[in-house]
Amino acid sequence: MDDITDQEIAINLRKRALLFWLAAAKGASPCTVIIPDSKPVCGTFVAMDSHEQRVRINALQTPIGTYDRVVLRGSDVDALELSM
């Protein structure tokens, strides 16, 4: 049986999450953002901060217009759908 500690498991999971966000950012992935009490909005995923609390999106298309560059707080996002 493997003697993997909880800390090693946490490190591996964190590494996988960071590698995922790096891969998503490299491709300038089209995305759909689901925001509470609002229609889904679309844009281009650029980056996620290291604490996974802020999302950078370009060309965000909203019902009131298109924003060239935005930073969304993670707490304001219900879901982020990426097309990779």
Question: Which structural domain range is residue 39 located in?
Answer: 6-82
How far apart are the C-alpha atoms of 37 and 76, rounded to whole Å? 10
What is the count of structural domains for the chain?
1
pTM comes to 0.76
Look at residue 62 and tell me if it is in a domain.
yes
Look at residue 70 and tell me if it is in a domain.
yes
Look at residue 71 and tell me if it is in a domain.
yes
- Given this model, what pLDDT does residue 81 score? 92
Q: What is the pLDDT of residues 17-58, one digit of tens each?
A: 888 888 888 877 899 999 988 889 999 999 888 888 999 999
- Given this model, what pLDDT does residue 38 score? 84
Report the CATH number at residue 46: 2.30.30.100
Look at residue 48 and tell me if it is in a domain.
yes
Look at residue 30 and tell me if it is in a domain.
yes
- Strand, helix or coil for residue 13: helix
Q: 1 or 33, which is more confident? A: 33
Q: What is the pLDDT of residues 59-82, one digit of tens each?
A: 999 999 999 999 999 899 999 998
